[in-house]
Amino acid sequence: MNALNVAKFGGTSVADYAAMSNSASVIKGNSDTRLVVISACSGVTNLLVELANGVADAKKQQDVLAKIADIHFSILEHLPANAAVDIAINDVLDEVATFATAAATSPSDRLTDSLVACGELMSTHIFTHLLNAQGIDAERVDVRQILKTDNVFGNATPDLVETAFHAQGVLRPLCDVKVAVTQGFIGADNDGNTTTLGRGGSDYSAALLAEAVQATSLEIWTDVPGIYSTDPRIA
Ligand code: ASP
Ligand code: MG
């Protein structure tokens, strides 16, 4: 069996252009890395949760939407113009606005999952574009086609058999020819509703997908300012 490494990058590792570029270098450094699982850009999930809880004041809602848009477009500014990616981001932002308005009057767990999933849906569009711009043949995969769950919104349980079936049929063949970029944290139930695995769920997604594609290794990358060479509690 060919070596296949899965690499997961959290929110701080895809927070901005510089962080995404670092993560791209990590991917370039290992040709076995052909499945990449990422989180939403740092801070985005919290802003989406705020909207999901219902922001009734229209001006305040606009401010939150503008912050979310700005995080993504300020990364795209550094990349070659790509109309398809701009359209994809704007489409997701339109969905965010529609869901936010609905949540302001009648919030629900189901609506919350559709809303908070938008962070990963956007970060993967941008990161795939960045990888391609850097000469890595990458393709974005909507993980909701692969990672199937029950319908316990906000804390869904993955269906391992269904997930393995779709991962083997769709994801693994793609990983054999290029770098697949997909979302952590989110999935879909049998009716196609978007679900989430709970806050911080991207590590779990990466492990599930690594197992489902029968990867040979899994790396969970994180961004830290430095590492201690000794136990800092020992003077
Ligand atoms: N974006 C999600 C969160 O902030 C999932 C994750 O980053 O693992 O909880
Ligand atoms: Mg985490």
Q: What is the CA(46)–ligand 1 centre distance, in A? A: 9
Of 72, 17, 73, which Cα lies nearest the Cα of 43? 72
In this structure, the number of other CB atoms found within 10 A of the CB of residue 2 comes to 8
C-alpha span between 212 and 172 (Å, rounded)? 9
How many helices and strands (H and E) does the chain possess?
9, 7
Give the residue among 141, 48, 175 at the shortest CA–CA distance from 100. 48
Cα separation values, 80 from 129, 131, 207, Å: 9, 12, 33
Rounded Cα distance, 27 and 179, in Å: 9
* Cα 10 to middle of ligand 2, angstroms: 6
Number of Cβ within a 10 Å radius of residue 166: 18
From the alpha carbon of 39, which atom of ligand 1 is closest?
7
Q: At what angle do helices 44-52 and 118-133 cross, to 10 degrees?
A: 150
In this prediction, residue 223 carries a pLDDT of 85
Q: Cα of 231 to ligand 2 centre, how many Å?
A: 23
Specify the residue with its C-alpha closest to ligand 1, atom 5.
200
Hey, which of 143, 185, 220 would you mutate to test ligand 1's pocket, going by the most ligand atoms within 8 Å of its Cβ?
A: 185
* Pocket of ligand 1 from Cβ distances under 6 Å: 10-11, 39-40, 45, 119, 184-185, 199-202
CA dist 233 and 235 (Å) reads 6
- How far apart, in whole angstroms, are the C-alpha atoms of residue 148 and residue 144? 7
- What pLDDT does residue 43 have? 97
Are the beta carbons of 198 and 154 closer than 8 angstroms? yes
State residue 232's pLDDT score.
87
Residues paired with 179 in a beta bridge: 138
- Ranges in the chain, pLDDT < 70: 1, 235
- Beta-bridge mates of residue 35: 6, 180
